[in-house]
Amino acid sequence: MLSVLRVHLPSDIPIVGCELTPYVLLRRPDETGTTDDVPESAPLDGHFLRYKWYRIQSDRKVAVCSVHPSEQATLQCLGCVKAKIPVAKSYHCSPKCFSDAWQHHRVLHDRAASAVNENGNEEEEIFGRFNSSGSGVINASLTGSASSTSLTNGSTPLYPAAVAQRSGGETWFEVGHSKTYTPTADDIGHVLKFECVVVDAETKLPVGHPNTILTSRVIPAPSPSPRRLIPVSGADMMGHLDLDGRVSSSGTFTVLSYNILSDTYASSELYSYCPSWALSWPYRRQNLLREIVGYRADIVCLQEVQSDHFEEFFFPELDKHGYQALYKRKTNEVYSGNTHTIDGCATFFRRDRFSHVKKYEVEFNKAAQSLTEVAVQTTQKKAALNRLVKDNVALIVVLEAKFSNQGADNPGKRQLLCVANTHVNVQQELKDVKIWQVHTLLKGLEKIAASADIPMLVCGDFNSVPGSASHCLLAMGKVDPLHPDLLVDPLAILRPHSKLTHQLPLGFKRTKGTAISGKRGRALNIFQGLCLTK
């Protein structure tokens, strides 16, 4: 008979707006194990699984810290109350927490006093919707696309009238009856209970005892720190932002470049300083989408985008916001097994601002194979390939602007723009490989620029610090032959050093934590650019 062997949750702390899907291990009638669902519509040997979710509300009032949402709040900022800032943002777990957060927290006071969206609902525009529930627990809900039909949680009403159970000062509300549950604003501060039981398909009665598991208290989704726009090539002297945050001058556009950290790499071993709930993909994807959409960039270049996340999440979600998408997955020589765990580069652009003209794909592995064939001795070919083949790629897209800053002396000329998006090798001990990949990409872009007389925009995570040889090559068009990074060149692929040049007139902007940062990934750049022909 069908039976449940084990039930556990992938994340220790549930978060508002982030799906909770328990791991349920079953034993089939033939004694084999499976994690596949057995719904009522497709029973197995006359049995199926029934799921229920409960919210346990205690008579005791609970508020959570706005900075450390897994901690209970002990104090409240009266300045937030006077400024009518959403109450969830006013709570802190300790005086030290409030003191440490003050520099950022005071910005909330300033913004609350001045920011008003087109509907006059400044709180919803900046913070999302927050309010106080009747139970005294802080409520929050996702705005925009983050709030979806999944919040129906199996078609169960979000505010059920029936009390499932009351015992020992606790009230249990049934809030969902599907395997996956998405915590809502009403769940903040409360413990959730998941129940799974085998049911006879004929009698619809439970067979055996239900398997249950309790979560930690539900926390609100923390808000990311605000970012700042980086002006490029005098664009700060032209145009202005219109009411929805877009650049209104016909000749300007905005670009966002973001290493979003593939879920494959988001492990507690690599990021031990980060709580496990904040590393979970259901949590991060909603925050990423909300942040990316919020910038309303005309062009968006993302790195470390898993192919399944592109197909199932980013492509359909950004399509709703008017973006067309192109994607290049990393090659397969390094990674094996499930190809869906392989990440790549994704480039999005607004359909009302640009149209797609052409796409080029750069696979550095193929370039490495060509290089070793002609430039490496036979005895070194295997070692050379082991060093050079790192699976990195670049996606190059030629776009045509649907706007123009051309004068009357040049009417009707097509305004083309070439956008390169790449993720360069991360290993710092392979400086030669890093420089070679950057140089290979730039030489390819030179050919495109020469053939079409087209301006270039190069985005990506270059895993390089300012002053490194890769940075010098990008920003200055050459590398000093005495640069210490050039000493790491066992295959002599960077020689002669005089070849490490390019003729593209690239400007280069950076801020702490951007794509040129030495910290691996999680890099974000937001550029305001000027669309100019040569």
What does each C-alpha distance from 314 to 260, 317, 318, 375 come to in angstroms? 11, 5, 6, 41
Residue 137 lies in a domain: no
The set of residues, in sequence order, having a beta carbon less than 8 Å from that of 222 and lying 6+ positions away, is 66, 67, 69, 278
Report how far Cα 90 is from the mean position of its chain's Cα atoms. Answer: 27
CATH of the domain at 166: 2.60.40.2700
Residue 142 lies in a domain: no
Mark whether 308 and 436 lie in a shared domain: yes
The CATH number of whichever domain residue 309 belongs to comes to 3.60.10.10
Q: Is a pLDDT exceeding 70 seen at residue 305?
A: yes
Contacts of 237 (CB under 8 A, 6+ apart): none
For residues 430 and 515, membership in a common domain is answered with yes
Q: Is residue 136 part of a domain?
A: no
pLDDT confidence of residue 234: 47
Which DSSP symbol is given to 312? I
Residue 151 covered by a domain: no
Distance CA 346, CA 311 (A): 11
Q: How many domains does the chain have?
A: 2
Same domain, 169 and 247: no
**pLDDT score of 286:** 85
Q: Could you tell me which residues come within 8 angstroms of residue 266 by beta carbon, excluding any fewer than 6 positions away?
A: 279, 281, 284
Which domain, by its residues, includes 105? Answer: 1-114+160-223
Burial class (CB in 10 A: 0-12, 13-18, 19+), 96: exposed
What Rg do the C-alpha atoms of the chain give, in angstroms? Answer: 27
> What is the Cα–Cα distance from 497 to 484, expressed in whole angstroms?
12
If you average pLDDT over every residue of the chain, what do you get? 79
CB count in 10 Å sphere of residue 452:
14
pLDDT at 118 over 60: no
**Residue 57 pLDDT class (50, 70, 90 cuts):** confident
Q: Which of 223, 251, 275 is the last residue of a domain?
A: 223
Q: Exposed, middle or buried, 444 (CB in 10 Å: 0-12/13-18/19+)?
A: middle
Residues 207 and 323 in one domain: no
State whether 322 and 201 are in the same domain. Answer: no
Same domain, 195 and 255: no
Rounded to 5 degrees, φ, ψ at 15 are: -130, 140
173 and 77 inside one domain: yes
The model's pLDDT over 397-412, given as tens digits with 9 standing for 90+, comes to: 999 999 865 554 555 6
Q: Where are the beta strands (DSSP E) in 201-259?
A: 206-217, 230-231, 252-259
Structural element, H or E, at residue 320: helix 315-320
Q: Tokens 């959409």 sit at which residue?
A: 293
Runs of H (alpha helix) within 453-483: 469-476
* 42 and 172 part of one domain: yes
For residues 41 and 165, state if they share a domain.
Answer: yes
Within-domain flag for 519: yes
Residues 420, 475 within the same domain? yes
Q: Which of 170, 195, 223 is the last residue of a domain?
A: 223
Structural domain includes residue 391 = yes
Q: Pick from 349, 368, 370, 374: which is nearest to 359 by CA?
A: 349
Please indicate, yes or no, if residue 129 is contained in any of the structural domains: no
Q: Could you tell me if 432 and 468 are in contact, meaning their C-beta atoms sit under 8 angstroms apart?
A: no
Tokens of 159: 């505010």
195, 223, 251 — which closes off a domain? 223
pLDDT band at 470 (very low <50, low <70, confident <90, very high): very high
Look at residue 455 and tell me whether its pLDDT is greater than 90.
no
pLDDT score of 506 more than 90: no
State phi, psi for 471 to the nearest 5 degrees.
-65, -45
Let me know whether 69 and 201 are in one domain: yes
What's the pLDDT band for 444 if we cut at 50, 70, 90? very high
**Residue 340 pLDDT > 50, yes or no?**
yes
Shared domain check, 491 and 428: yes
User: Mean pLDDT across the stretch 8-35?
Assistant: 88
Q: At what angle do helices 431-452 and 381-388 cross, to 10 degrees?
A: 80
User: Domain for residue 125, yes or no?
Assistant: no
